Amino acid sequence: MPRHPFLLLLLLPLLCSHNTAADDDQPHNRFLQCLDSENSAAADSISKLIYTDTNPSYSSVLQFSIRNPRFNTSTTLKPLLIVTPRNISHIQATIKCSAKHGLQLRVRSGGHDYEGLSYASLLPNVQFIVLDMINFQDVAVDVASKTAWVQAGATLGQLYYAIAQKSSTLAFPAGVCPTVGAGGYFSGGGYGTMQRKHGLAADNVVDAVFIDAKGRTLGRSSMGEDMFWAVRGGGGNTFGVAVAWKVKLVAVPEKVTVFRVRRTLEQNATKIVHRWQTVANELPQDIIIMATIQKVNSTSTAQLTTTIQATFNALFLGGAEGVLKLIGDKFPELGLVKEDCTEMSWIESTVHFARFPANTPPAILLNRTITLLTGSAKYKGKSDYVQKPISETVWEGVWKKLDELGPLAGALVMIPYGGKMAEIPASSLPFPHRAGNLFLIQYDVFWNEDGAEAEERHVDWIREMYSYMTPYVSQNPRGAYMNYRDLDIGMNAVEGKTSYREARVWGVKYFKSNFDRLVRVKTAVDPENVFRNEQSIPPFSL
């Protein structure tokens, strides 16, 4: 693959056909005719739910769920059309017709894919349509059985809100960003603030409704345990369309405690980060302390200077006194004091982790477009797993690299493992990064400037950071997290004809030895590779 895949984008002609003549030979016209005939019996006509690029709402429907503005440019390869199904029959017809006419199908739920794969294509010459699950947003919580059915187009925020409406002591262990869609999130595993006690979101899925490549509606028992295993972490857009997940809720206390402690280099950040590496994954399961490292403007001197700051963000499933005692015993270097700790309900903690100001009403969780975590910046992310503590000298090299960019432009977000994460066997689900991992690093780079030069400068920076870290992170394979999609680690380069060997390059980084089982499941359930993209598991035959 080219070192700068984004350059491909710039060279691409505008491939989405702007032909205004009604030409029956155009693939999307044949597709539309096919949909019409497939759906003639449906009560709710599908034609109102289709947006071709000549429809005045096409751009607003497309842009509504674009969460990385990097793929919101005039040169981004866009879908021929978007279908927004309201009914399972609409999904079935869309799958059948796209398969019949050779159009690639990209399913979109929350639109947070780091590389924009749910609504854009980095491969040239791809004609694709988007199946947008925006109308599947229901969440049905059943307190008695402590379960909920979550439709794929619902966001994590909608799930959290719906649970809290029914109970103040039930919760779900999912991610920090409330606008993330259930469709993509569960498909890649899904971690969050309670993973050290309850594992991944996918570890807590007990049933699912999927539509497969043949258009069959499948539940857990009809899809079989192999497919049910694969869909819980093997990646989206690969085994079928996720319509809904049934999840097991977990118990939380009425009051949890959060803290956000910031330490700059002048406040011994290097020593504290060094210590954090080995402490955070050994702590009891009731606490998670995540660490974010960024360059910031210094507030300690009158002169304008910058420094590196580590922010320790924690959730403790208990009261403030308990966490003060725990940190005082096990991690005194952090210097946690009572004033740092705030007791709140679990639902309030989800608002806190999403960075909304204190006392923001939880209804903010229902907003699908407001995300303070990335703002309106373009971004690129990468990931690594750390299995041995990294020395202070190496961390100082990281600080130097962060210093090359402006304040807040680059970040390392580090999530400790251990606890329940280390107890679940590596083959239990496709997600293989369990015992033996100290923490996950997410590298991020953000920029606001338009154009190829700014993009190249920032993307080069994150690639250099990743290269610097090579000796200090997991090896053979160098692990990566599926939901932090990164096309640098390899991609299926030829549309529809991905070889096993080509896919294995990126596949073992996300899935380690689970990759082969995923290929076997894919071969059984989608031998024609109807569901595909730059990083979907290929069937053996291709």
Ligand X SMILES: *[C@@H]1O[C@H](CO)[C@@H](O)[C@H](O)[C@H]1NC(C)=O
Ligand Y SMILES: Cc1cc2nc3c(=O)[nH]c(=O)nc-3n(C[C@H](O)[C@H](O)[C@H](O)COP(=O)(O)OP(=O)(O)OC[C@H]3O[C@@H](n4cnc5c(N)ncnc54)[C@H](O)[C@@H]3O)c2cc1C
Q: Which residues bind ligand Y (CB under 6 A)?
A: 67, 106-114, 117-118, 133, 152, 175-177, 180-181, 183-185, 187-188, 190-192, 236-237, 241-242, 371, 373-374, 483, 533
Q: Are 296 and 307 in contact (CB under 8 A)?
A: yes
Closest distance of CB 406 from ligand Y, Å: 20
Kindly list the strands in the beta sheet with 104-108, ordered across the sheet, starting from the edge strand earlier in the chain.
Answer: 50-52, 81-83, 128-132, 104-108
Closer by beta carbon to ligand X, 26 or else 264: 264
Q: Are 8 and 115 in contact (CB under 8 A)?
A: no
Interface residue with ligand X, options 32, 35, 66, 390 (CB under 6 A): 66
End-to-end Cα distance, the chain:
19
Query: Could you give the string, one character per residue 390-429, with x where binding to ligand X holds by CB under 6 A and - elsewhere?
Result: -----------------xx---------------------
Q: Shortest CA distance to 422 belongs to which of 440, 404, 407, 405?
A: 440
Mapping DSSP onto H, E and C, the string for 64-128 reads HCCCCHHHCCCCCECCCEEECCCCHHHHHHHHHHHHHCCCEEEEECCCCCCCCCCCCECCCCCCE
The option from ligand Y, ligand X, none interacting with 304 (CB < 5 to 8 A, set by class) reads ligand X
Contact flag: residue 57 with ligand X (CB under 6 A): no
Interface residue with ligand X, options 8, 12, 42, 505 (CB under 6 A): 42
The option from ligand X, ligand Y, none interacting with 42 (CB < 5 to 8 A, set by class) reads ligand X
Gap between the Cα atoms of 359 and 352, Å rounded: 9
Q: Are 519 and 501 in contact (CB under 8 A)?
A: no
Contact flag: residue 41 with ligand X (CB under 6 A): yes
Gap between the Cα atoms of 244 and 221, Å rounded: 15
Closer by beta carbon to ligand Y, 28 or else 70: 70
Closer by beta carbon to ligand Y, 67 or else 509: 67
Q: Are 218 and 132 in contact (CB under 8 A)?
A: no
SS3 state at 406: coil
Closest distance of CB 185 from ligand Y, Å: 4
Gap between the Cα atoms of 343 and 328, Å rounded: 18
The phi and psi torsions of 202 (rounded to 5 degrees) equal -65, -30
Query: How many CB atoms are located within 10 Å of the residue 283 CB?
Result: 20
The option from ligand X, ligand Y, none interacting with 109 (CB < 5 to 8 A, set by class) reads ligand Y
Q: Shortest CA distance to 150 belongs to which of 190, 85, 207, 211?
A: 207
Contact flag: residue 45 with ligand X (CB under 6 A): no
Closest distance of CB 367 from ligand X, Å: 4
Closest distance of CB 94 from ligand Y, Å: 12
Contact flag: residue 302 with ligand X (CB under 6 A): no
| Sole window of 16-24, 40-48, 312-320, 468-476 interacting with ligand X (rule: CB under 6 A) | 40-48
The phi and psi torsions of 299 (rounded to 5 degrees) equal -105, 0
Closest distance of CB 177 from ligand Y, Å: 3
Contact flag: residue 267 with ligand X (CB under 6 A): yes
Using left for φ > 0, alpha for ψ between -120 and 50, and beta otherwise, residue 289 falls in beta
What the block records as the tokens of 204 is 């807590």
| Sole window of 63-71, 310-318, 479-487, 523-531 interacting with ligand X (rule: CB under 6 A) | 63-71
Total residues contacting ligand X by CB under 6 A comes to: 19
DSSP 228-290: HHHHTTS-SSSS-EEEEEEEE-EE--S-EEEEEEEEEGGGTHHHHHHHHHHHTTTS-TTEEEE
Closest distance of CB 370 from ligand X, Å: 4
Closer by beta carbon to ligand Y, 385 or else 395: 385
Q: How many CA atoms lie within 13 A of 287 on its CB side?
A: 25
The option from ligand X, ligand Y, none interacting with 205 (CB < 5 to 8 A, set by class) reads none
The option from ligand X, ligand Y, none interacting with 184 (CB < 5 to 8 A, set by class) reads ligand Y
Q: Catalytic pick from 119, 379, 481, 484? A: 484
Closer by beta carbon to ligand Y, 176 or else 250: 176
Gap between the Cα atoms of 285 and 19, Å rounded: 58
Q: Which helix (H) or strand (E) holds 446?
A: strand 439-447
Closest distance of CB 24 from ligand Y, Å: 29
The option from ligand X, ligand Y, none interacting with 63 (CB < 5 to 8 A, set by class) reads ligand X
Q: Shortest CA distance to 168 belongs to which of 254, 103, 102?
A: 254
The option from ligand X, ligand Y, none interacting with 133 (CB < 5 to 8 A, set by class) reads ligand Y
Contact flag: residue 450 with ligand X (CB under 6 A): no
The option from ligand X, ligand Y, none interacting with 199 (CB < 5 to 8 A, set by class) reads none
Closest distance of CB 125 from ligand X, Å: 24
Burial 487-519 (b: 16+ CB within 10 A, else e): bbbbbbeebeebebebbbebbbbbbbebbebbb
Query: Could you give the string, one character per residue 339-378, with x where binding to ligand X holds by CB under 6 A and - elsewhere?
Result: ----------------------------x-xx--------
Query: Could you give the string, one character per residue 67-96, with x where binding to ligand X holds by CB under 6 A and - elsewhere?
Result: --x--x--------------x-x-------
Sign of CA dihedral 509, 513, 516, 522: negative
Residue 484 is a catalytic residue: yes
Gap between the Cα atoms of 170 and 248, Å rounded: 10
Closest distance of CB 530 from ligand Y, Å: 12
Contact flag: residue 268 with ligand X (CB under 6 A): yes
Residues labelled catalytic: 484
Q: Which residues bind ligand X (CB under 6 A)?
A: 41-44, 63, 66, 69, 72, 87, 89, 267-268, 297, 304, 367, 369-370, 407-408
